[in-house]
Structure 1
Amino acid sequence: MSDINYDFKDLLNVGENFNLLYTQMLNGKRIRSEKTGVVYVFDEVGCGKTVSAIIAIASVIKEKQMENEGYKILVLTQKSVCLQFEEEIKEKLKIDSNVIYNVAYDTTNSLEENIPTYIKEKSCIIVSNPHKIGYLNGKEKRWDLVVIDEAHDLICNNQKQTEAYYTDKINKAYDEYLNDKNFSIERKKYIKDYLNNIDKESSFYNAIYQFVQQIAVEERNEHLQTGRISVPESRSKENVKFRELLNLKSNKLMFLSATPYKNSREMDFINYAFVAAHILTDHTIFAARYLPELDWVQDVYSATEGGKQKMEAANTSFMFKEIAQAIPFDSKDTKIINGKRRIVEIWDSKEDTDILRKNIISKLDKKEEVKNRFLIFVSNSQEGVHVFKKIFPEESKGFDIREDNKHYYKNKNGITCQFIMNKFDNTLEMKSYSKENEKIPDILIVTWQVAQVGINLPTFNYVVNYHIPSIPGYLEQRYGRIDRLNSTNDPLYNIYYLDNNGMSFIYRLNLFTALNHYIEMVVGIPHNLPTKNLLFCDKLKPKKVNINEEMEELYQVLAYYVASYLNEEDDKKNTEEDKQKNVKQWVIKTNTWRNKDIEWNKEKRRLLVGDREYFIRELRENDETNSENDLVEETMEHNIKSISYYIFQLEQGNKMVTQINSAKGLEKLSDAGSIIYWNDNHETIVSNIEEIVKKLC
């Protein structure tokens, strides 16, 4: 490792809480490379990407100091993380802390006044959330380094948007663009020349070719009133953050993301390169040299000779904690491989209605060396109270979360529980929980919006998902809150709690969807990015639902809500005919009752759907179906849409079960924490971490 010049090390405040790792220091070297100017840090959640960014900042500062110049550095991260990022820079860098400015909480007036002042100074490091990019971009503001944290949130598209965009319509629209006289011949020639010069040997050739065509089509969209091609949300004019991001100018750029793509790796990675080309150059339409370089990954993760050299020369880091932690920077001797166990469990209230309380209380009662603590994710304060009442059924009578003194609760047995949510203005309290202290609660109930990313909680060993998203990357991010480099707990648990009321039917479906996407990504679509299994276990292998039995009941419930809606008195906005049209619109998206006539007979109290006749009974307040699914909301529209969506998902679910359970290599996922990669024959292999580490040392 001595062959690499790490001249910026003297700017790092190395100490008890800051140990240098080889893979992180390598990112500081990469940012100084003259090859591209962009570095991608796609390391695992909890692998120290923030430290990599701070080391890169030190590297750029050192370079500017050697030239006797000041520095201008911008860090973009989520608002809830800005303070933590600012404090880590101050703690880990030997620089004047007065040049560091956190503008995340500045008002519009103060931003307009302060930003120009900061930038005029010889040196400055500005930490901001992405919503303020508009005050930080422009030609007069050229940065020496821009760091973009959680980059996928700004850059990647969701699956439906991507599929809608990458269609055959683009080819036709591109031909129309070439024939459109509103565009200069020079501009069209520039695009055609670029397409002709794309490296045909590149694995990204087809994707880049189509992407550049799409850029041309977007330009044409600007001049059209009709016939526009629909573009993904992240690329649309309405997405102000993305558009303003493209107006940033910098000499160097670093992207941080543990989940760098959402659905299509090639297309999402091309989006990264597209953004990099805009930020690092003035006129380039696209530059393949800015693509993430991942050719080394298979060589390293299969412990092949030469993999280390390829990795060091690449612009991309893709590391897991066990590997990063085992290779310290200052010594060629590897540390003991972290053998931390990861355990995935499912707690289903259908099997035991009291399972949440029993499991948590029993773990807290146990006298173990490891202090058990639970981090529970909910969607809102109402869900938080619901979970609290599940755990403390007797003590929660008359409980009102709106009272300030109820945000931190201690029961008669000494068990402590805290609510942390934006509405209580107490989110900063989590920062103190990154290190062991007596104030840390046994149970921490948080809304996912405040704790899903950027928060370090290595003092907890259980993540409990009450709110379950349908995107696997979000579940990985949550688990990463407790699975940190400095986490001493072993084992670590990832729990899915499936309730039997409230939003439970949606969350069950979300879990089903997330697992399908995850397994499809891991064993269904071979690619060269290894994956660590943090989400799947044998207990989660899905089973088919007996549709015939459940569907009949569901259609009865749907029929009831449709009938109730149609039976309401007509108003000025909605006549009987209007309401029938509304119902068709609400259910047609899910193929429920598609193309069938819907007629409500008030006298006979029956609903006709095609040739099917439903006789409607009154549902009482304590009706089991009604209370169990909690479908009564403010409007009948919500009820009809929800149950219709559920029916559709149930039908789709059985198709996914077949897909999931027939996937080759599924047995490799039974061990949580295993690292999986694919060889050239598209075979699924479990990586040998010890061999990988030896090859890198």
Structure 2
Amino acid sequence: MIMIIERSSKWEEDFINKLESDGEWDSWKLYNMSYDVVKTNLITEFSGLQSPKYLPNLTPLTHQLEAAETVIERMNGKAILADEVGLGKTIEAGLILKEYLIRGLVKKALILAPASLINQWVEELNYKFYIPVIAYKKNIQLDQYDIVVMSMDTAKKSPHREAIYAQDYDMIIIDEAHKLKNHKTKIYEFVQSLKKKFCLLLTATPIQNDVFELFYLISLLKPGHLGNYEMFQSSFSASKHDLEHDEYLRELVNQVMVRNRRQDTGIEWTNRQVQIIPIQFTDEEREVYNLILDLKDVSSAFSGAFSMITLQKEMCSSKEATYLTLNNMRQNCGDQEEEDHVEGVIQKLMALEVNSKAEKTYEIISKTTDKVIIFTEYRASQAYLQWYLNSKGITSVLFNGKFKKSKRDYMKHLFKEHAQVLIATEAGGEGINLQFCHHVINYDLPWNPMKLEQRIGRVHRLGQEHDVQIYNLVTDNTIEKDILDMLYVKIDVFEKVVGELDDILSAL
């Protein structure tokens, strides 16, 4: 086969025509417009942020701009953003993502967040940062979208996990990164397997219960930065709640972590007024509490330490919460004698007419006309408290993790506009902003001090105009005293490695 190539002279005719008729390609107006576009998009230096001038709907605070600069210029886009609750970690992450998009270093990004925060991420990135982002749904093809927000629980499961692995993401952002916990969780294993050119981990509480949680977070960002597990444990004589050479460890941590405290932002913040409120059981409540302690010697169903701890905590909360656990365990008793013994405890429990902690809660609420948020660990206690407060003429709404987003938003609206009290389980300590409220009652204390910080951070954040009143209820001579002691130990570890905390407990 012979191919004949001929020289065309048509280009010459077109060239002459464009010269004579002032064709589009040599229009001086179009040339200037094109020149201006190229000049505007030209980035002449790498230092400093370019993104703020493209964000007319956002006025970042100084500490947010400095955090973004630090991550980009000193940490190469791999960092833990660990500002205290309410200081705008989402804004910092948005600035960093926008900067990398403008510079052409990021094209595809994946954002993993708790389900309750997905819509917040989509709204902020779309409207504040002009970043086109969508919330992932099951019928979405990931290769058709550059920036996607997805829930952690969805991402770690098949077939979504495999679909994500098939993409080449330039940046991974993980909100509430403390939920990764350690290398044994499925979400940790999933994130560890992701390709991560740039990676941001957002958490105000990088240590929740023990120092090894921070080790695992940093190992996700920079494997080997703190050595392997055995080397880390040996170098810092690290145990869950203690370690040595903490100054050197903090220096290493600060190479990959940005943490702003409220007092460092230059913003005038309201104060926290924290009280520990002691609760005295009635004689009848004390009798039932002691009977529960004796169950470990009576029934094999109650021999586990976890079961006994759960029951003791529930008894300090409400008889309703305690009954549910006792009733379930009664069904696992080894013989009729054990079952009868447990039944006797249940009868004593249900005969109680007074809940001393609920009475103290009412006493605190009755002294103010302001909004109050109560945190309890048990939905049974939540329901009881609503009934009890209603019997005293106090309006309240519930808030827990079983509610869909639309119901959560409606409950928040009812609290703001109508009810005096919001009664929340732990789910209320995450992803809801309540600056219009400044009274917090920690009805049940968690083992984890960072949960307290998350709870308080719902009200003590930008926009709060009043001092925040915090009441931590502790029942004397019960497991709650042990919980309080452990909280102080864990706070001490956190402050050694990460930095000081705002008050969440009053002086011991």
CA deviation after TM superposition for structure 1 residue 139, in Å: 5.1
Question: Which of residues 87, 90, 103 is equivalent to 2:126?
Answer: 90
Which residue matches 1:276? 221
Q: TM-score, normalised by structure 1?
A: 0.47
Matches within 5 A, 1:70-469: 71-95=107-131, 99-103=132-136, 106=137, 110=138, 113-114=139-140, 117-121=141-145, 123-134=146-157, 135-136=160-161, 140-154=166-180, 156=181, 234-236=182-184, 239-265=185-211, 267-277=212-222, 286-287=224-225, 314-324=255-265, 326=266, 337-346=268-277, 348=279, 350=281, 354-364=359-369, 372-393=370-391, 416-425=395-404, 428-430=407-409, 433=412, 439=417, 441-448=419-426, 450-469=427-446
**Matches of 2:209 and 2:408, distance apart in 1:** 35
**Matches of 1:422 and 1:522, distance apart in 2:** 26
Counterpart check, 1:530 vs 2:508: no
CA deviation after TM superposition for structure 1 residue 428, in Å: 4.8
Query: Is this contact kept in 1: 2:113–2:150, CA < 8 A?
Result: yes
Matched letter for residue 66 of structure 2: L
**Matches of 1:79 and 1:320, distance apart in 2:** 27
Which residue matches 1:518? 487
Query: Is this contact kept in 1: 2:199–2:221, CA < 8 A?
Result: yes
**Matches of 1:452 and 1:256, distance apart in 2:** 16
Matched letter for residue 419 of structure 2: P
Matched letter for residue 86 of structure 2: G
Counterpart secondary structure, 1:5: coil
Change (3 A) 1:320 1:430: farther
CA deviation after TM superposition for structure 1 residue 257, in Å: 1.2
Which residue matches 1:6? 49
Larger Rg belongs to = 2
**Matches of 2:154 and 2:494, distance apart in 1:** 35
Counterpart secondary structure, 1:32: helix
Change (3 A) 1:377 1:51: same
Change (3 A) 1:529 1:139: closer
**Matches of 1:514 and 1:499, distance apart in 2:** 11
Query: Is this contact kept in 1: 2:415–2:421, CA < 8 A?
Result: no
Q: TM-score, normalised by structure 2?
A: 0.63
Change (3 A) 1:439 1:349: farther
CA deviation after TM superposition for structure 1 residue 520, in Å: 2.5
Change (3 A) 1:523 1:34: closer
CA deviation after TM superposition for structure 1 residue 260, in Å: 0.5
Change (3 A) 1:51 1:513: farther
Q: Deviations 1:101-157 (Å, cap 9, x if unpaired)?
A: 212xx4xxx2xx41xx23334x32334334423525655312121111121220x3x
CA deviation after TM superposition for structure 1 residue 378, in Å: 2.3
**Matches of 1:288 and 1:381, distance apart in 2:** 40
Give the total of aligned pairs: 366
Q: Where do 5+ consecutive residues of structure 1 fail to align? A: 157-233, 278-284, 292-309, 327-334, 365-371, 395-410, 542-697
Counterpart secondary structure, 2:496: coil
Query: Is this contact kept in 1: 2:270–2:468, CA < 8 A?
Result: no
Change (3 A) 1:133 1:33: farther
Matched letter for residue 109 of structure 2: I
**Matches of 1:420 and 1:133, distance apart in 2:** 27
Query: Is this contact kept in 2: 1:420–1:427, CA < 8 A?
Result: no
CA deviation after TM superposition for structure 1 residue 270, in Å: 2.9
Which residue matches 1:203? none
Query: Is this contact kept in 1: 2:81–2:200, CA < 8 A?
Result: yes
Matches within 5 A, 1:565-580: none
Q: Where do 5+ consecutive residues of structure 2 fail to align? A: 1-44, 230-250, 283-355
Query: Is this contact kept in 2: 1:79–1:128, CA < 8 A?
Result: yes
Q: Deviations 1:268-309 (Å, cap 9, x if unpaired)?
A: 3331232224xxxxxxx6355999xxxxxxxxxxxxxxxxxx
Change (3 A) 1:426 1:140: closer
CA deviation after TM superposition for structure 1 residue 459, in Å: 1.2
